[in-house]
Chain A
Amino acid sequence: MFEWLSDNRASVAAVLIILFLGAFVWSIVVGRKQARLTATDEVFGDPVRTRGGWYWSVCGVSALMLVWFYFSWGTGRAYFPNAANEMCQIAKLEEAVSPIKAALPIGSRYYKSTLLASRNTAQLDDLQSRLAGTVFTEAEKTELEDLIRRIGALIANSSNPSDMDQQSRDELVGLVERLNELSAFIDAGPGDLTPGEEALAQPAWGTTFAEIPILPVTARGMLFDTASVEAAEIAAEFNRIRNHVPENDRLIADIKEQIDALKETNETGAFDEQVSAEREDYVKAVERIFKRLDDGLIFPAAALADVNTAIANLDASANSAQGGLRFADAVFFPGPGIVKSRTQCTEQGSARWLPKPTDVVATFMRLANPDLENGGGYRGFPLLWWDWLPVADVVAFFVPDWIADAWPGEFASHGDDGTITPNFKDKLLAFAQGEVSLGHIPMLDGHIWDSLFRVLVALGLGIFLGVPLGLFMGVSRFFKSFFDPLIELYRPVPPLAWAPLILTIFGIQDDGKIFLLFMVAFAIMVISARTGASGVQLTKIRASHSLGASDRQIMWNVILPNALPEILTGIRIAVGVCWGTLVAAEMLAGTTGVGFIENIARTVSDYELIWVTILIMGVLGLVFDMIMRWVIKKTIPWRGMG
């Protein structure tokens, strides 16, 4: 059942979207009708105006879901299941052509040649202007000036179309021809191209971690995929082509010779250190520019104009071959679309960090599956499940080893025949160390349980110790004055600021976290119990004294019930704060827990997992709060009635 739903999540989404759309429209219709019915007998500001209106909640929820579906590309995937695959093929073509485009105005405003020419000319000019102030002799300066002029001539010669040799010309013409052929191929349409078996066997979009199936599954996709292979070859070819200028051959040889001579002088000249360094720097700068110009990367602009046009034509062909896909892309795939990088196609824009609702559910179900052998759970640990817990472990946790040490007598030592007969003291030690088999009890298990366990234990300890202390602080000058400074010293510090210290002292596993949360819960419980206790009406206390109650009876029967509303509110607040602190603490350190999952998900940019953990925490927080609200409603209906 779940498998089927998971494999058909696009169709499931398609149905859901229609349902949400229906609910959205329906709720608006109902809401408007209701508004017309009640509009006459309620004035603006009347609190009655906020009552009821559940249909607007329906409206809000469905609107939220529709927005989520839309920006996560859930809508696009539901109704155009192959669009992403085709967009991926187009992205492949785009990726293949990109090296050519990068050298042309169509891709980067200027020809790469233009940029090379202007940048190097500027640097040569700079060297030229610095020359007068250098340490070179006058003769050398004249020579260097000549050198710089010659290097400048390299640029000029490369840029002149009439200096180009025939072979380079032919190569560029051939390239343009191939590009035009590619355009014609795309224009001709897919024809009888059919997707291969391997492509069709790929998992559907979104069902595996590699988001978008990379092999083409449609005829149109095949067209672009095939074109992208040819385009990649053309691009490789383009990168190989050099502008060979015969004029420059002799010039380059001369320049090399000149530079070598200068280097020679630098080395043999026995200049002092500073002069030598300055000379070397200058010559190196000249050589660097020369090195950039001797490999024929500068072409005349006119020679590249045809390539630019051919690429523009190719783009036009690709655009028209996309047909209806362009509409789907523009409307249903908000953001920059799909980008192909190396081995995969990835969603860009909002869809990148906003997973589709159905995927979030699927990921959650995958994690929730307790069958660890078959990919369930997370990192070899289930989300929420149960396991057999050895009773001996629990006993060992509560029974300290020193009880065995303190027992009268000695531990047994091995006898003459090398065997050991354990006495009672040995057995006690084994018991305290959990080495006795006492059977097993079922116990909850998993990341969620670990988080819950930490919060519940810390909260329990906080209540158990904090409430009595708070009550005493509410009624006793000594308790109030003695403990107030202690609590007020640590409480204002944000709990997370304590985390590094506490985790170091108590360890990154349960102990440290529980202690950290305990600190949080304890302070809140003390303060709320104290507020509740000190807020008891004096007449009630006096009445109970007159009725013969002892101090302890008054504490238990009057002050505690009176403080109950504050205590329960305190628990409600403590749950929220503990929960928040716990997640952050789990992110800091540890190997289990919801916060741990989110932290790992963050480091591998698994947005689906991040959202799943966010939703888990939101739902658990909500459940906690609802339980507390229910408890408050049930236990203190008299709140504020005294």
Chain B
Amino acid sequence: MADLVCEHLNMTFTNPQTGAAVEALKDINFTLKKGELLSVLGPSGCGKTTLLNVMAGFINATSGAARLGDKLIDAPGVERGMVFQQGALFEWLPVSRNVDFGLRMKKNDSAENEKLVEKWLDIVGLQGFGETPTYQLSGGMQQRVALARCLINDPEVILMDEPLGALDALTREKMQSLVLELWKETGKTIMIITHSVEEALLLGERLFVMAPRPGRVHKEYNLPFAERGLKESLREIKHDPYFSEVREEILTMIWNMEEEIMGRV
């Protein structure tokens, strides 16, 4: 039972030349239980990526601590898988070598690897694409490779930074279903950052709306839509009056934050 915990997390970027400091994160506190799905929403520049980078261990917080179970997060690790906006695939390797990259780094048995690759390509719907060069795949397919590459490593937590941001609406919807399916099947803890309010509502069992300057959690929601999305069609959920209500509320909230930023600038 490993929860993802943030305690009084502060992150301040200081420009080494000017000495100007940006408070990217200020006093972030939350506990994400195992198997929870958290989506993070907020205006541009409010520190979402920074938060995720701290959780992934790419950067170290100025103060406070992030923990997975009782392990302090201070470096990247296999137990925390990452999915980036642009896939960040290794374009010199074919799909299957991308997917089993983590396994190969662990020097696993290659026959077993092969089986796992087959399985995961199947799950993400890329059967038969094993030998295709990644640069010949569409954006959606590349993102699915990235998902498979992350999941094959069997991480405890999956961190996603706008994983569906670059996709068209239809592909995006399919991928949202896929994420929900994977969540249900694997029972992983997932933290997903998004710009789309609808996506955040659909995917987020829990939802943080962050506010900028300093970056902080402005409001937290607990939502039923992710659970429902496992059984119902996502499009129907979007027509639910409660869904619309929350969406409008959040949109207004973020709109006001943006206005505030503009006004201040």
What is the interface of chain A, defined by CB distance below 8 A to chain B? Answer: 537, 539-540, 542-550, 553, 557-558, 561-562, 564, 636-638, 641-642
* Residue B77 is within 8 A (CB to CB) of chain A in the complex: yes
State whether B82 touches A542 (Cβ < 8 A): yes
What is the interface of chain B, defined by CB distance below 8 A to chain A? Answer: 56, 58, 75-78, 80-82, 84, 86, 88-93, 101-102, 105-106, 133-135, 149-150, 153
Complex Cα distance, B122 from A255, in Å, reads: 124
State whether A542 touches B105 (Cβ < 8 A): no
Known: A547-B81, A636-B92. 6 other contacts (CB 8 A): A537-B88, A546-B150, A547-B149, A548-B153, A549-B101, A638-B134
State whether A638 touches B76 (Cβ < 8 A): no
State whether A642 touches B91 (Cβ < 8 A): yes
- CB-CB under 8 A from A641, the residues of chain B are 91, 133, 135
State whether B92 touches A539 (Cβ < 8 A): no
Chain B CB within 10 A, most for which of A543, A544, A636, A642: A543
- CB-CB under 8 A from B75, the residues of chain A are 545
Complex Cα distance, B135 from A137, in Å, reads: 109
Complex Cα distance, B93 from A564, in Å, reads: 13
Minimum C-beta distance from B149 to chain A (A): 7
Chain A CB within 10 A, most for which of B78, B81, B92: B92
Complex Cα distance, B89 from A562, in Å, reads: 11
Residues A553 and B81 in contact in the complex (CB < 8 Å), given A542-B76, A545-B76, A561-B92: no
State whether A545 touches B58 (Cβ < 8 A): yes
Chain B CB within 10 A, most for which of A545, A553, A558, A564: A545
Complex Cα distance, B97 from A547, in Å, reads: 13
State whether A561 touches B76 (Cβ < 8 A): no
> Which residue in B77, B89, B133, B134 is a CB contact (below 8 Å) of A548?
B77
Closest to B136 in A: A641
> Which residue in B80, B90, B102, B153 is a CB contact (below 8 Å) of A558?
B90
Complex Cα distance, B58 from A547, in Å, reads: 13
State whether A638 touches B133 (Cβ < 8 A): yes
Residues A539 and B105 in contact in the complex (CB < 8 Å), given A547-B78, A547-B153, A561-B90: no
- CB-CB under 8 A from A642, the residues of chain B are 89-91, 135
State whether A543 touches B92 (Cβ < 8 A): no
- CB-CB under 8 A from A548, the residues of chain B are 77-78, 102, 105-106, 153
Complex Cα distance, B56 from A550, in Å, reads: 16
Closest to A539 in B: B88
Residues A539 and B84 in contact in the complex (CB < 8 Å), given A547-B153, A558-B90: yes
State whether A544 touches B56 (Cβ < 8 A): no
- CB-CB under 8 A from A553, the residues of chain B are 105
State whether B105 touches A549 (Cβ < 8 A): yes
Minimum C-beta distance from B27 to chain A (A): 26
- CB-CB under 8 A from A564, the residues of chain B are 92
Closest to B93 in A: A561
Residues A542 and B58 in contact in the complex (CB < 8 Å), given A548-B105, A636-B92: yes
Closest to A564 in B: B92
- CB-CB under 8 A from A546, the residues of chain B are 56, 76-78, 80-82, 150
| 25 contacting pairs across A/B (C-beta < 8 A) | A537-B88, A539-B84, A539-B86, A542-B76, A542-B82, A542-B84, A543-B82, A543-B84, A544-B105, A545-B58, A545-B76, A547-B81, A547-B101, A547-B102, A547-B105, A547-B150, A547-B153, A548-B77, A548-B102, A548-B105, A557-B101, A637-B133, A638-B92, A638-B135, A641-B91
- CB-CB under 8 A from B106, the residues of chain A are 548
Minimum C-beta distance from B106 to chain A (A): 6
- CB-CB under 8 A from A544, the residues of chain B are 90, 101, 105
Complex Cα distance, B86 from A540, in Å, reads: 10
Closest to B153 in A: A547
Complex Cα distance, B81 from A545, in Å, reads: 10
Closest to A543 in B: B88
Complex Cα distance, B81 from A636, in Å, reads: 28
- CB-CB under 8 A from B92, the residues of chain A are 561-562, 564, 636, 638
Complex Cα distance, B105 from A553, in Å, reads: 7
- CB-CB under 8 A from B77, the residues of chain A are 546, 548
- CB-CB under 8 A from A636, the residues of chain B are 92
- CB-CB under 8 A from B89, the residues of chain A are 642
Minimum C-beta distance from A635 to chain B (A): 9
Minimum C-beta distance from B92 to chain A (A): 4
- CB-CB under 8 A from A562, the residues of chain B are 92
- CB-CB under 8 A from B149, the residues of chain A are 543, 547
Complex Cα distance, B59 from A257, in Å, reads: 115
Complex Cα distance, B159 from A546, in Å, reads: 10
Chain A CB within 10 A, most for which of B58, B86, B90: B90
